[in-house]
């Protein structure tokens, strides 16, 4: 009898210990565990000096409350009706949106007006560069208005979606200001510099096998032990708030109503080398300085731009694609067997039916594991090219008909919000 009681007590103790040890097991990402509120500033951004000499280099997030509410055009974002009525030409602007019906990601074209009527009722997402017609209604955030900072201002992404839970997202090359124009979000962040095993789980090193997909709605600590017993930083954002998300932090967001956000991407590695003396000479805040006044012409094309231009222009055949990519990279891929082999693998994956030609339909079918593989290949190809450029002088490529030929180091295209808003189990 005593032995049965002892076994019973041991079983109960083991059960209790197991529950306490893995409280967040099979629970949503960041819902249970060591939850830490992010430091907040009330109605002010960090100064340009604070952002670029403390928060960015020290990889510290900071939440600025209600910093947008006094912007001149803040009111037009209050409702879809105001947007359509107050922004001339918006309704007829053609856009590409993401559809997630039946867990199948598809890109579809429609007008902005049609999207605004449908996104609250259907699983639709718009996440792309702020359309030209809307740029004059967005004031450049105060810490980014310095001339020297504008050189490292990569892009401004407009995000419009209904109730949604994103996948785990990771941006190694960009710091972000994530600003809410309408609605509210809960964003959960983890510092992968503090927890390198989490980073390895999300982004394996070259040559290592990518593990099974992570479902952020049910984090399996048995399969992904790196996520147990770590700090989760929490930010509950509402209209008018902006959150600074440092590079190398993974994050997930949940929206609880129709929400409009703008994500301002900052080139991380370049920003680390800013001359502090130049920051001290930054001019005062200009409430009339809007996105349309920024000269984006010097920005290089992204791989996605190159791919979509090739498809839309109906450019056919491996050789022609390799030639265009060579011009984009200012590097002759055909003269480098290693880089050419990587590009050939990329081409073969995108060319789903293997007929030697890539079509719009095939590009639209890129998702899930294939998307991540393609991203890894393009990333690996740029690394190979950059490494060889440091040690040798490859055969140059005539690029006079392609002014946007600057290679982007560590250019992982799907780090942009649009390409990370996949089926939440893909990563």
Cα 339 to Cα 336: distance, rounded to the nearest angstrom: 6
Closest CA to 134 of 106, 102, 161, 158: 158
- Domain at 18-293, CATH from 3.40.50.300, 2.60.40.10, 2.60.120.650, 1.10.357.10: 2.60.120.650
Give pLDDT, residue 18: 47
- Residue pLDDT, tens place only, 222-269: 888 889 889 999 999 999 999 999 998 999 999 989 999 999 999 888
- Residue pLDDT, tens place only, 144-158: 999 889 888 888 999
Kindly report the backbone phi and psi dihedral angles of residue 128, in degrees, each rounded to the nearest multiple of 5, phi listed first. -160, 175
Kindly report the backbone phi and psi dihedral angles of residue 35, in degrees, each rounded to the nearest multiple of 5, phi listed first. -95, 125
Pick from 85-89, 202-206, 213-217, 356-360 the range whose average pLDDT is largest: 85-89
Give pLDDT, residue 57: 95
Between these two residues, 213 and 414, which has the higher pLDDT value?
213
CB-CB contact of 406 with 327 (8 Å) = no
Give pLDDT, residue 336: 86
Residue 375: pLDDT band with limits 50, 70, 90: confident
Give pLDDT, residue 374: 83
Pick from 119-128, 238-247, 319-328, 354-363 the range whose average pLDDT is largest: 238-247
Residue 395: pLDDT band with limits 50, 70, 90: very low
Which three-class secondary structure state does DSSP give residue 18? helix
State the residue for tokens 């339909």. 361
Distances (CA, A) of 322 to 318, 328, 353, 363, 383: 6, 10, 19, 16, 17
- Residue pLDDT, tens place only, 398-420: 433 333 222 223 333 333 443 33
Between these two residues, 292 and 33, which has the higher pLDDT value?
292
Closest CA to 141 of 259, 279, 263, 35: 263
pTM of the model: 0.70
CB-CB contact of 415 with 173 (8 Å) = yes
Cα 302 to Cα 283: distance, rounded to the nearest angstrom: 31
Cα 198 to Cα 193: distance, rounded to the nearest angstrom: 9
Residue 214 has pLDDT above 90, yes or no: no
Give pLDDT, residue 390: 67
Domain boundaries, the chain: 18-293, 303-390
Between these two residues, 13 and 31, which has the higher pLDDT value?
31
Tokens read off for 319: 């050789």
Residue 115 has pLDDT above 70, yes or no: yes
Give pLDDT, residue 216: 85
Residue 394 has pLDDT above 70, yes or no: no
Which three-class secondary structure state does DSSP give residue 76? helix
How many other C-beta atoms can be found within 10 angstroms of the C-beta atom of residue 233?
22
Tokens read off for 366: 């890129």
Query: Could you give the angle at which helices 368-391 and 337-350 cross, rounded to 10 degrees?
Result: 160
Region for 207 from its dihedrals, namely left if φ exceeds 0, alpha if ψ lies in -120 to 50, beta otherwise = left
Give pLDDT, residue 145: 93
């Amino acid at each position: 009898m005593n032995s049965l009681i002892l076994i019973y007590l041991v079983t109960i103790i083991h059960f209790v210990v197991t529950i306490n040890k893995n409280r967040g097991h099979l629970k949503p990402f960041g819902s249970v565990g060591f939850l830490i509120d992010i430091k907040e500033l009330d109605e002010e951004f960090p100064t340009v000096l604070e952002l670029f000499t403390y928060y960015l280099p020290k990889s510290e997030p900071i939440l600025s409350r209600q910093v947008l509410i006094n912007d001149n055009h803040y009111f037009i974002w209050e409702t879809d009706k105001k947007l359509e009525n107050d922004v001339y030409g918006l309704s007829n602007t053609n856009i590409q949106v993401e559809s997630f019906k039946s867990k199948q990601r598809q890109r579809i074209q429609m007008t902005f007006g049609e999207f605004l009527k449908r996104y609250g009722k259907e699983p639709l997402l718009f996440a792309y560069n702020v359309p030209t017609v809307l740029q004059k209604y967005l004031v450049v955030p105060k810490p980014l208005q310095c001339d020297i900072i504008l050189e490292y201002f990569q892009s401004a992404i407009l995000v419009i979606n209904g109730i949604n839970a994103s996948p785990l997202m990771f941006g190694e090359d960009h710091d972000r200001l994530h600003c809410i124009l309408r609605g509210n979000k809960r964003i959960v962040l983890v510092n992968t510099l503090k927890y390198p095993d989490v980073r390895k789980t999300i982004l394996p090193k070259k040559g290592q096998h990518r593990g099974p997909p992570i479902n952020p709605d049910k984090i399996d600590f048995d399969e992904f032990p790196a996520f147990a017993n770590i700090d989760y930083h929490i930010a509950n954002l509402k209209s008018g708030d902006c959150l600074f998300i440092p590079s190398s932090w993974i994050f997930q967001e949940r929206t609880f109503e129709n929400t409009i956000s703008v994500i301002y991407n900052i080139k991380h590695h370049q920003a680390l080398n800013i001359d502090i003396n130049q920051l001290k000479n930054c001019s005062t805040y200009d409430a009339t300085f809007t996105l349309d006044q920024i000269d984006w012409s010097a920005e290089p094309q992204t791989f996605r731009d190159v791919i979509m231009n090739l498809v839309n222009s109906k450019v056919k055949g491996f050789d022609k694609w390799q030639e265009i990519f060579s011009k984009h990279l200012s590097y002759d891929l055909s003269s480098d067997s290693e880089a050419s082999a990587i590009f050939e693998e990329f081409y073969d994956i995108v060319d789903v039916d293997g007929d030697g030609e890539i079509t719009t339909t095939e590009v639209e079918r890129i998702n899930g594991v294939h998307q991540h593989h393609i991203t890894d290949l393009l990333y690996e190809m740029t690394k190979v090219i950059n490494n060889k450029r440091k040690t040798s002088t490859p055969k140059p490529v005539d690029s006079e008909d392609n002014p946007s030929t600057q290679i982007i180091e560590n250019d992982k295209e799907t780090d942009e919000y649009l390409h990370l808003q996949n089926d939440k189990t893909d990563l």
